[in-house]
Structure 1
C-alpha cells in the first residue's frame, strides 16, 4: 500500500495544490462540504449607522443642499440683469450678498485695478496700569502679505477680508467719509470690527490693554507702468485718513482677548 494513500493520515504531495481531502480549499474556489456559509459584507458609510442616525444624517444633508441652492440662487440674482424678482426683493438679496459674497469685475477691463492700497490702523488704548496712550500705525495689508507670501494655499480670509472691507467702505462713503446710502453704517461697523480684531491679535498697547478708539487710513500708490510704456503716473502716495471711531462693547466682543471682554461685561 502506498504511503500517500487516502486516509486519516494522508498528506499532500509537495508541489501539488491542496484538495478537500487534505484539509485545504478545493481548487475550484467553492467551499468544501461542511464549511459554514460566507456571511454578508459589512456595511459602510451611512448604511452602517442606526436608523435614528441615518435619519439625522439625511436631514443634515437636506439642509445643506437647501442652503447651497438658496445661496447660488441669490448670488445669481445679484449678478443678473434687473428683473421682477430683484426689483421686489433687492434689499433681501443685498443683505445676504454684502459684504462677504459681493461679485465685481475689477480684475477685468475696462478699468482693472492699477493701484496698491495699504490699509493701516492705530488705536487709543488703556493699559493695565490705567494710563492712556496711542499706538503706532499697524500696516494690516502688509501683515496679510507676509502671511500669504510663500503660502501655497492661503486662506480666503487672508487674501480678501480686509481688502473687501475697505472696498465696501469706500463704495458706501463720499470723499468726506460721509455715508451715501443705507449700507454706510453697516460698512463702517464691519471695517471697525475687523481692525479691532486685528489689533487684538497684534496685542496693540501690550498685554491686557483695552482698545477705546481706532483710526483707519489708506495709503494708495500707483502701480508703475512697464519700461516700454510711455505712460506717466505719479509715484507719490495718496493718504486717506478717517476720523477716530469709538469702540463699543459689541465691537470688543467680536473675538477680542478676555481682558476686553471682561470690561465689556462689567459696563
Structure 2
C-alpha cells in the first residue's frame, strides 16, 4: 500500500477542496440561471451569464418550464443573374427541413442544426413584430435581417449564378394539445413571407 507524504496529502486535499468548490459554484450559477428572478440572481446576473453563456444556455425556467408550442419551418430562395444578364428566381429550399433531417436518428445532434436557424428566426420576430416593411428602430432589427440573410446565403450558395437577391419565408404551425385537454388551438399553418433583400458582395464575406 502506497503511503503519501504529508506535503502530497496537503496538495491532494487542497486540490479536492478547490475542485469541489468549483463544481458547487458552477451548479449554483446554473441554478440561479434557471430559477425565477430573485435578489441574488439580479445582483450577480453578470457573473452568472459569464458562466452559463454560450455553452450551457437553457431556454426554460425552473418551476415554470416553457416548452416550444409551435413548429417553424423556414425556407429560402435566391434570385441570380447569369453571364448573359438573364435573371432567374430559384425554387424554395427548406432550410428547417434540412436541419430536421440532420437531427433525426442522430444520437448526438449538432447544436447548430438544433438551434441556429430557430434562434435566428426568433431574433427576427422579436425585432420586427408582425410587419416586414422595415426593421424596428435601432441596429438590432438590421442585425436580425443580416443574420437571417447570411444563413440563407451560406446554405444555398451561389445558386448557379451571381446572387442579387434573397428571400425567406416561415410556415408557423401550432402544436396540437393532447387529446385529454379542452384547450382550443388553431393548428392551421400560417405563412409569413419576407420581402426580397438585395445581396451585395460584402454580404457574402466570410461565408
TM-score w.r.t. structure 1 length?
0.53
| Aligned residue number for residue 210 of structure 1 | 162
Q: 1:189 to 1:107 in 2, by over 3 A?
A: farther
Aligned 8 A contact 1:118 1:218 in 2: yes
| Structure 2 residue corresponding to 1:226, chosen from 151, 154, 178 | 178
| Aligned residue number for residue 150 of structure 2 | 193
Counterpart CA distance in 1 for 2:117 and 2:62 is 17
Counterpart CA distance in 2 for 1:236 and 1:247 is 33
Aligned 8 A contact 1:174 1:180 in 2: no
Counterpart CA distance in 2 for 1:176 and 1:220 is 15
Query: Of the two structures, which has the highest relative contact order with CA contacts closer than 8 Å and spacing of 6 or more?
Result: 2
| Structure 1 residue corresponding to 2:89, chosen from 131, 134, 158 | 134
Aligned 8 A contact 1:106 1:113 in 2: no
3-state DSSP of counterpart to 1:183:
helix
- Structure 2, unpaired ranges of 5+: 1-25, 34-39
* Pairwise CA distance, 1:140: 0.5
| Aligned residue number for residue 243 of structure 1 | 195
| Aligned residue number for residue 25 of structure 1 | none
| Structure 2 residue corresponding to 1:179, chosen from 136, 140, 146 | 136
* Pairwise CA distance, 1:174: 2.4
| Aligned residue number for residue 105 of structure 1 | 60
3-state DSSP of counterpart to 1:235:
coil
- Structure 1, unpaired ranges of 5+: 1-71, 87-92, 256-267
The answer on 1:148 being equivalent to 2:103 is yes
Counterpart CA distance in 2 for 1:124 and 1:107 is 46
**1:26-105 map, 5 Å:** 81-83=41-43, 104-105=59-60
3-state DSSP of counterpart to 1:194:
helix
| Aligned residue number for residue 11 of structure 2 | none
* Pairwise CA distance, 1:116: 0.4
| Structure 2 residue corresponding to 1:168, chosen from 104, 109, 123 | 123
| Aligned residue number for residue 6 of structure 1 | none
| Aligned residue number for residue 21 of structure 1 | none
Q: 1:108 to 1:152 in 2, by over 3 A?
A: farther
Q: 1:232 to 1:182 in 2, by over 3 A?
A: same
Q: 1:81 to 1:169 in 2, by over 3 A?
A: farther
* Pairwise CA distance, 1:114: 0.7
Greater helix proportion? 2
Aligned 8 A contact 1:166 1:191 in 2: yes
* Pairwise CA distance, 1:218: 0.9
Aligned length: 167
3-state DSSP of counterpart to 1:229:
coil
TM-score w.r.t. structure 2 length?
0.67
